[in-house]
Chains A and B, each alone.
Chain A
């Protein structure tokens, strides 16, 4: 018996050594913790491993809020991960150390696969710094039951789109219902406010990248409109400045609308809602606009396996892979690719107004949102927006303060670039 045990033990060691001898490369991957996407991405990477047995993945999953701390620590220590999942706000911060996919494929042919509105996120100068795996758009949700009870109809097509004032009036009417305790649950973030800046035909950074809030009038208009919504209590204080997640507030059924994005759909539909809801078009200021965004995979020039990482990224950038990923997610997220038919299934009806808003949004909006300064200053900018929204500083003063915040960061950025 002892001999048999010893033989099995030796056999196991030999098998393990042989397995180790196959020398599969292991790529380190950092994914964002997201209940709806992390398992699908892991499944896709397993699929890649099956097709390429010499490549394996060691996956760490961390929350988005911890990503910067983790990534900066790794980057400072020179321990670059092979592949990282990042969001719109962060990808351009790592443009310099990013793996340039243009070295591995034809740049123009690669970029031509993506919709123009999403290209600015993955381009930095001549470099292609990542692969967009899914696209998002900000959008407007409404509680059908409350709107029906108040006798208010939402725009059903592009010809009926509300102006800002009409939007405000509609919410005010619904809020007169005793069961409607909140007007618009509105995520407290710079990105969600940015929709108003763009709808006012303003931008955070000038086209040449040298000044912050270059046009004061659109910014003041956006700030004044927003401040009016907060002052009229149409935006609940638990949203602004309370920072309570808008989706959670909307789910309670006592909010007329939610100003958020298409990523909420999966939770709303699969989780079930205690009321009927729909989506509609964003109101227009001077023009129509929404904030595009999404999630990306990127590599680093100095990572140990950057060539293999590039091959994985290029595999994901194929139309078929992107389509497979999005359809495995059930269709709640958008495709960033040109001419790609995705079966959005049960989400189709809800996504239609958001896709329309996206189509009406000029490309420079993405360029503006992709600027690193917008992300690096977001805490200070949000504080100033809160001060303005709660009436403690005027819109004019807020614009001056915001310009100072942005100018300091742009100065620093320009100093670094000139070195």
Chain B
């Protein structure tokens, strides 16, 4: 083994000094690297947002090709629109139901299916398949399964003597049905995230806890869940985004009904813009949702920061 070569002070200085570049070049380089991303963000996010804000100040008459500046009238109208109020409540109810259910179900399924046995691998595929199905297939299948007159679910309930349930035709049951269909559709995706998170936990911790006599429940509570918190934060954020953007499945399953009971804000926007032909009013709803969603995201971050996940 040869001794390391000595480096002269002059060589060391040259190694520590960054290579000389032209002044402008060195200053510009980071911005040039950022430029494509910033440009994309600007073109596809900032410009549409600003355009949307501008649109929300107008009353567009699409068919006559005219627009009238109405300042904040669209927002004022929103504050007095009972349908918008109902859709806002529906969205809050839907999000507050879907997000915790997805979190609990995906963690429970992930923990249960952690070990790679053949049966569990098959079960994983089973849970994941609904996520890759088209929303049209998901909604149509559930619509027929839950049909009150001809559906398999009510048929079975009747057969065992329990009577039928108006899954899609009663306000509360319809809300439960859309939440159920959404959780069924998405839980497989979040289960994979949980499995990825679980694979990052050092198995020695479980081994040590077992030797110390910790029960399975205590191992879950004191090892698995704390170490899974960053994954759970991600699930909460993504599921919230999913919930606030939910559209196709609900539209196809209940069309927002019965009588608006499952109509979320995003569907209300669509109806305003494309059925009632009032795009300015539709966009105003989207703009109004922006601070609300930011607030929810901020609260989530605060909660998780307090819990030490961030």
Q: Is the CB of A241 within 8 A of B259?
A: yes
A237/B275 contact (C-beta < 8 A), A75-B62, A386-B257, A386-B258 known:
no
Q: In the complex the two chains form, is B275's CB within 8 Å of A376's CB?
A: yes
Whether B271 contacts A379 by the Cβ 8 Å rule is yes
Please pick, from A68, A93, A241, A249, the residue contacting B257 in the complex, using a CB distance under 8 A.
A241
Q: How far is the CA of A268 from the CA of B102 in the complex (A)?
A: 43
The yes or no answer to A41 lying at the interface (CB within 8 A) is no
Q: Is the interface of B mostly helix, strand, loop or mixed?
A: loop
Contact of A249 among B68, B149, B271 (CB under 8 A): B149
Interface string of B157-190 (1 = CB under 8 A from A): 0000000001011000000000000000000000
Tell me the residues in window 165-205 of chain A with beta carbons closer than 8 Å to chain B beta carbons: 181-182
Q: 1/0 per position for A376-388, CB-CB distance to B under 8 A?
A: 1111100110110
Within 8 A of A (CB), among B262-277: 270-271, 273-277
Q: How far is the CB of A72 from chain B (nearest CB, A)?
A: 5
Tell me which residues across on chain B come within 8 A of A242, comparing CB atoms. Answer: 147-148, 168-169, 258
Report the interface size for chain A: residues with CB under 8 A from the other chain.
Answer: 37
- B27: CB under 8 A from chain A? no
Contact B258 A241 (CB under 8 A): yes
Asked if residues B63 and A96 are in contact (CB atoms below 8 Å), the reply is yes
User: What's the nearest-Cβ distance from chain B to residue A187, in Å?
Assistant: 13
Report yes or no: A182 in contact with B149, Cβ–Cβ below 8 A. Answer: yes
Does B197 reach chain A (CB closer than 8 Å)? Answer: no
Q: In the complex, which residue of chain B has the Cβ closest to the Cβ of A244?
A: B147
Q: Is A210 an interface residue (CB 8 A)?
A: no
A236 within 8 A of B: yes
A386 / chain B contacts, CB cutoff of 8 Å: 257-259
Q: Is A95 an interface residue (CB 8 A)?
A: yes
Assess whether B62 is in contact with A377, with CB atoms less than 8 Å apart: no
Whether B52 is near chain A, meaning CB under 8 Å from some CB there, is: no
Given contacts A242-B147, A244-B143, contact A379 B66 (CB under 8 A): no
- Residue pair B257, A252 in contact (C-beta under 8 Å): no
Given A387-B259, A390-B258, A181 contacting B149 (CB threshold 8 A)? yes
B168: chain A residues at CB < 8 Å are 238, 242
Whether A378 pairs with B147 at a CB distance below 8 angstroms is: no
Report A399-419 CB contacts with B as 1/0, cut-off 8 Å.
000000000010000001001
Given contacts A95-B63, A182-B149, A243-B255, contact A238 B169 (CB under 8 A): yes
Shortest distance in angstroms between B177's beta carbon and chain A's nearest beta carbon?
11
- Cβ of B83 within 8 Å of any chain A Cβ, yes or no, is yes
Q: How far does the Cβ of A384 sit from chain B's closest Cβ, in whole Å?
A: 8
In the complex the two chains form, is B259's CB within 8 Å of A93's CB? no
Known: A237-B169, A238-B169, A386-B258. A93 touches B148 (CB 8 A): no
Contact status A97-B150, CB under 8 Å: no
Residue A35 at the B interface, CB < 8 A?
A: no
Contact A376 B276 (CB under 8 A): yes
A18 within 8 A of B: no
Query: Which A residue's beta carbon lies closest to that of B271?
Result: A379
Interface residues of A in 61-80 (CB under 8 A from B): 68-69, 72, 75-76
Closest to A385 in B: B259
Whole-angstrom distance between the Cβ of B19 and the nearest chain A Cβ: 51
Closest to A240 in B: B169
| A225 at the B interface (CB under 8 A) | no
| CB-based contact B259/A416 at 8 Å | no
Residue A94 CB within 8 A of the other chain = yes
A72–B150 touching, CB < 8 Å: no
B residues less than 8 Å from A384 (CB atoms): 259
Contact B169–A378 (Cβ < 8 Å): no
| In the assembled complex, B110 has its CB within 8 A of some CB on chain A | no
Q: A242-B169, A386-B259 are in contact. Are A72 and B279 (CB under 8 A)?
A: yes
* Per-residue interface assignment for chain A, residues 75 to 107, with 1 indicating a CB less than 8 Å from any chain B CB and 0 otherwise: 110000000000000000111110000000000
Residues of B within 8 A of A241 (CB): 169, 257-259
Task: Tell me whether A416 and B274 are in contact in the complex, defined as CB-CB below 8 angstroms, given that A76-B279, A181-B149 are known contacts.
Answer: no
| Residue contact A238 to B149, C-beta cutoff 8 Å | yes
Contact residues, A329-388 vs B (CB, 8 A): 372, 376-380, 383-384, 386-387
Encoded as 1 (CB less than 8 Å from any A CB) or 0, chain B from 60 to 91 comes to: 11111110100000000000000100000000
Most buried by B among A75, A238, A244, A386: A238
Q: Give complex CA distance A383, B276 in Å.
A: 14
Interchain CB contact under 8 A, B149 and A68? no
- CB-CB under 8 A from B254, the residues of chain A are 243
Binary CB contact string for chain B from 236 to 264 against chain A (1 if under 8 A, 0 otherwise): 00000000000000000011011110000
Question: A243 to B263, alpha carbons, bound, how many Å?
Answer: 15
Instruction: List residues of chain B with CB within 8 A of the CB of A93.
Output: 63, 277
Instruction: List residues of A whose CB falls within 8 A of some B CB.
Output: 68-69, 72, 75-76, 93-97, 181-182, 236-238, 241-244, 249, 252, 254, 372, 376-380, 383-384, 386-387, 390, 392, 409, 416, 419
Q: Sorted from nearest, which 3 A-B pairs have the closest CB atoms?
A: A241-B258, A386-B259, A238-B149
| 16 A/B residue pairs, CB under 8 Å, sorted by A | A69-B270, A97-B63, A182-B149, A237-B166, A237-B169, A242-B148, A243-B255, A254-B150, A378-B275, A379-B275, A379-B276, A383-B259, A383-B260, A409-B276, A416-B61, A419-B61
